[in-house]
Amino acid sequence: MTFLQTCRFSLVLLIVGAVCAGQTSRSLLAVEAAALAKAVESVTIDELRKHAEFLADDTLEGREAGSRGGQAAANYLTKEFARQGLSAAGENRSYFQGFNGSCRNILGMIEGSDPQLKQQVIVLGAHYDHVGYGRKGNSYGPIGYIHNGADDNASGVSGLLEIIDAIKRLPTAPKRSILFALWDAEEVGLIGSRHWISRPTVPLSRVALCFNIDMIGRLKDQRLEVFGSRTLAGSRRVLSETNTAADLTLDFNWQVKADSDHHPFFAQGIPFLMLHTGLHENYHRPSDDANLLNLEGMQQVTRLMLQTLLRYADGEDLGKFRAASQQENNFHRDQMEQPQQAQPPRFGLPWLRAAGDELRIVMLPPTPGSPAEAAGLRAGDRLVKCEGAVITDENLLRLQLMAAAGKKTLTIEREGEKEPLEISITPRGGPIRVGISWRDDPAEPGSVLLTQVIPGSAATLAGLAVGDRIQAIGGQRFANGDELGRLIATLPSPLEVIMERRGRLRVVKVETLPAEIGP
């Protein structure tokens, strides 16, 4: 089993282990997992290409809102909704909601399977219009040429259509209802989504969450931008857990701008999530063509969106909109992620390992003002014993010094001295077991953000770093940082830690000394 497979397996055990107590539960879970896997696999590059190439073809003349090309796109999309058997969720029992003359939103519904939860609605939306031939104010030029908008937003619409197809393949509909919305006139001021918010075809009180798919066709370096994760507590964890298959780097952006169809929902206090592969040199230019789409990347992002949507559609409690998100931006993110000021070293005992097969640990100059300097250690001293035991493992020595509850006696060899010297050093501060400090994040209960990883500590040796988020330890969840501290102090070594780094989950094992010491 590979390292990443181990991570996924451990994560699955952590999440569903308590549920699978009986054989019936295990069998049911296996059936549901198999059905989900087939649905996810049904999101194919060929289908994404087919939809994107149609929508971004010159014959649609850039899909400007209300234009003949926009109307042709709407007719194609309506046929897709009907083919998939979506319930009409527009006006007059149709898929359409008209506005501003010839503009049309396209709306279809999959009703939830749970008698109570189906009253809650998750909106999955993508705008299908673009800028036509381009003009001053909406094109970076040259204007007067067809702007096909392959990435903006034929890519997002194609992803939405594939998500519909995948969900319809499931043996049972999700518990919550899902409204699929294709917005018109986004490019002229989010008019379609704003119109729906002002004249909703589903009461806004029923809308629990909005997903917005806008520009997912240019994935580069496996990096995906995520917006809206601060609007619903725990969203970062959910996205990271559903990201284990794609293993994309997720950049969580706290800024919320009125630049796409999520914003009318956000302004109404409805939480949202938007995945976005970023701007590029073809944005709002005639060169945004289908041949430039990263279809493999589109598949990855669409599958991630599908799994995240289903996670929320089947969850027991989605939670409420975080009003604090309306005041948060990337400045607050940088403040939250600011590393903690480094603590003075306990011993101030830097060394290097001399070249050669034999372990030879040679002192560098002690840290000024440190216990090592006060005890008389010098650069060039060779460390040979700790508490009378020959030093055979450099990492073990680091852990012993970190964990020291009191004075340590080191045996050294010094140039010019015939016999080894014993030097006792009393370290600063209390013993350290793992070597981390953290902050709680109010938007992510049940995880902590690492703000310090002490050099040479067990955490450093395990590969933990400032900015990582710990989600579980020793197979146990925790409510907050205080509870994590108690687990660190009592769980046996090694500590299996599930951590998240920029949206990617990993399992690391932290080898520590005995558990009666602190974090």
**pLDDT confidence bin for 72, thresholds 50/70/90:** very high
Across the range 497-511, mean pLDDT stands at 97
Could you report the per-residue pLDDT of 439-478, keeping only the tens digit for each? 999 999 999 999 999 998 999 999 999 999 999 999 999 9
Question: In a 3-state reduction of DSSP, which class is residue 295?
Answer: helix
Does residue 19 have a pLDDT over 60?
Answer: no
Whole-number pLDDT of residue 25: 55
Across the range 372-387, mean pLDDT stands at 95
Whole-number pLDDT of residue 117: 98
Across the range 500-509, mean pLDDT stands at 98
Whole-number pLDDT of residue 9: 42
Residue 184 near residue 66, CB atoms below 8 Å: yes
Does residue 210 have a pLDDT over 70?
Answer: yes
Does residue 3 have a pLDDT over 60?
Answer: no
Residue 253 near residue 226, CB atoms below 8 Å: yes
**pLDDT confidence bin for 109, thresholds 50/70/90:** very high
Whole-number pLDDT of residue 1: 39
Whole-number pLDDT of residue 355: 79
Give the integer Cα–Cα distance in Å for 473 and 491.
9
Phi, psi of 67 (to 5 degrees): -80, 170
Q: Report the b/e string of 472-511 with b at 16+ CB within 10 A.
A: bbbeeebeebeebbebbeebebebbbbbbbbbbbbbbebe
Does residue 144 have a pLDDT over 80?
Answer: yes
Strands 207-213 and 121-127: parallel
Does residue 299 have a pLDDT over 80?
Answer: yes
Q: Rounded to whole angstroms, what are the CA distances from 266 to 99, 186, 263, 271, 325?
A: 22, 16, 5, 6, 10
* More confident: 22 or 359: 359
Whole-number pLDDT of residue 63: 99
Does residue 507 have a pLDDT over 90?
Answer: yes
Does residue 78 have a pLDDT over 70?
Answer: yes
Mean pLDDT in the chain? 93
Across the range 36-41, mean pLDDT stands at 96
Kindly write down the DSSP assignment for every residue of 415-451, as one continuous string. Answer: TT-SS-EEEEE--SSS-BSS-EEEEE-TTSTT-EEEE
Does residue 209 have a pLDDT over 80?
Answer: yes
Could you report the per-residue pLDDT of 392-415, keeping only the tens digit for each? 999 899 999 998 989 999 999 999
Give the range among 242-246, 267-271, 404-408, 514-518 with minimum mean pLDDT. 514-518
In the chain, the percentage of residues whose pLDDT exceeds 90 is: 86
Q: Give me the domains of the chain, ranges plus CATH numbers.
A: 42-332 (3.40.630.10), 351-425 (2.30.42.10), 431-510 (2.30.42.10)
Across the range 184-204, mean pLDDT stands at 98
CA-angle at 76, arms to 260 and 59, nearest 5°: 85
Which residue matches tokens 């409420």?
320
Across the range 21-26, mean pLDDT stands at 48
Whole-number pLDDT of residue 27: 61
Across the range 296-307, mean pLDDT stands at 98
Across the range 306-320, mean pLDDT stands at 96
Give the integer Cα–Cα distance in Å for 70 and 139.
17
**pLDDT confidence bin for 5, thresholds 50/70/90:** very low
Number of H helices, E strands in the chain: 14, 20
Whole-number pLDDT of residue 15: 42
Give the integer Cα–Cα distance in Å for 133 and 285.
9
**pLDDT confidence bin for 26, thresholds 50/70/90:** low
Whole-number pLDDT of residue 418: 92
